[in-house]
Amino acid sequence: MSRVAQLFARVRAEKRAAFVAYLCAGDPDFDTSLAACRALLANGVDLLELGVPFSDPLADGPTNQLAAQRALEGGMTAARVFELVRRIREFSDAPIAFYTYYNLVFSNGVDAYVRDAKAAGVDAILTLDLPPEEADELTAACRAHGLDTVFIIAPTTPDARIGRIAATATGFLYYVSREGVTGVRDQVAGNIPEAMARIRARTKLPVVVGFGIGTRAQVAQVAAQADGVVVGSALVNCIRDNLADRSKIAPVLAARAADLSAGVRRV
């Protein structure tokens, strides 16, 4: 079983959802990013979703756009992102998923990129702007090198297409609970129970829910329905708010992750 499959089997046995945390790799610099990842993984994060910094992150709101900009300005490259994963693997066996855009994969050669990602210790790849109908080259490379694939389902996805998306994914499905871009919201989207029912009628893959989740209460609300809960912008904001003293970033993230991760336990 892959690390991803093992994780979801474990949390299912523990009768809870997985806590998935997003950070942009290299934000605001390599060493601080590594410390931030360590802090999250030591404080309840089950799966680390690493954003690969990109100059045109169309699915992201201002918080994550600025995180990518900081990472790029701090010298992050594809090679440095792989190095970050290798360094994380020195202290953690938790699943790591890349959250990326297809140009970053394609421009480096799809098979070579997937091979290098696997060698570094990546477990899954979510390519936000690549629909499954156009993903044959990527999915073939992932099969060849043992990397799980993740695809997105949106509130606007027709029932007939959910099965097509699910058939292409191997790791888990990412349900985007809101139309639009990433970012913290005051309330969780109200359509999650209905969406989970629609998706689960067509696949046995785990389903994680993200976009707009930023408090422990919101995590608990989503965890009651989903197999995993993704928090991104609320964590990235901890980096943004402590740029003046970067030594504070890891401790602040540790405390925030411990608080948020408490929400995934079902009662």
- pLDDT tens, position by position, 1-50: 899 999 999 999 999 999 999 999 999 999 999 999 999 999 999 999 99
Catalytic residue among 27, 46, 49, 116: 49
Report domain 3-264's class: alpha beta
Strand segments, DSSP code E, in 42-100 are 47-51, 96-100
- Report which of residues 61 and 188 the model is more confident about: 61
Instruction: Fill in the amino acid letter for 79.
Output: A
What's the rounded mean pLDDT across residues 45-63?
Answer: 90
136 classed as catalytic: no
pTM over 0.75: yes
Reduce the DSSP state of residue 21 to 3 states and report it.
strand
User: Alpha-carbon distance 97 to 123, whole Å?
Assistant: 6
At 159-190, the pLDDT tens digits run 999 999 999 999 999 999 764 445 444 556 56
> Domain segments of the chain: what residues?
3-264
At 95-153, the pLDDT tens digits run 999 999 999 999 989 999 999 999 999 999 999 999 999 999 999 999 999 999 999 99
pLDDT at position 240: 97
60 classed as catalytic: yes
Cα angle for residues 140, 173, 11 (degrees, 5° grid): 115
Q: What share of the chain is helix, strand, coil (3-state, %, to 5)?
A: 50, 15, 35
Catalytic residue among 27, 60, 123, 227: 60
What's the rounded mean pLDDT across residues 50-70?
Answer: 89
